[in-house]
Amino acid sequence: MTKIIGLTGGIGSGKTTIANYFKALGIPVYIADDEARKISETPEIIQSLKTIFGDGVINNEKLDRVKVSEIVFNNPEKLQQLNAVIHPAVKKHFENWVLQHSNFPFVIKEAAILFESGSYKDCDFVITVIAPLETRIQRVIKRDKVTREEVIKRIENQWTDEKRIGKSQYVIENVAIDQAKAQANEILKKITFQ
């Protein structure tokens, strides 16, 4: 039976870098945010989101992510409604994806909100990627071309590293990439024999 390894971490922790490293090793990796983005463009999901948010969030039959983000960022109820549409669709998509990769001993599910969405419950193990706060802030400023204040706001809206670590079996500290890869290799060895 294929084991599911959850991979998560706060914004700027470098979880995508670690996910790409696992991918380079030949391990199937499911990037939940990317798949959610694709799923949110399907006609039935667009219709559901129109019902929740109105026609103003649809532009040329495509979801206007900026408008949706602005709405849900300040409205927890609307965020909950958005998640109630997207999460079950992603869950179903992921289950089908796992079946397509059932010949592998394990697969990785990379998700920023693995714990918040409850999808960690479907994982055999969880790896949390961490990095010092200042490192994370600088990475996101550079990557997203945003202000320090915007990054801090995003970090404050996420779980803390301590909370994630408390629910994880493994932790990778991603400061120097070679050391992070070495930690990933050690974790893979342990998981392979469990």
129, 14 Cβ separation under 8 angstroms: yes
Please count the residues of the chain.
194
Whether 170 and 94 map to the same domain: the answer is no
Asked if 174 and 119 sit in the same domain, the reply is yes
Residues 6 and 77 reside in one and the same domain = no
pLDDT in tens, 72-131: 877 889 888 998 999 899 999 999 999 999 999 999 999 999 998 889 999 999 999 999
Check pLDDT > 90 for residue 137: yes
The encoded tokens of residue 184 equal 């990933």
> 1 and 75: one domain?
no
**Residue of 124, 102, 123, 120 whose CA lies nearest to 28:** 102
Mean pLDDT score, 6-14: 96
Residues of the binding site = 12-17
Domain region containing 85 = 34-100
Domain identity same for 125 and 161: yes
1 pLDDT higher than 90: no
Summarize the annotated binding site for ATP as residue ranges. Answer: 12-17
Domain count for the chain, please give it.
2
Please check whether residues 137 and 43 belong to one and the same domain. Answer: no
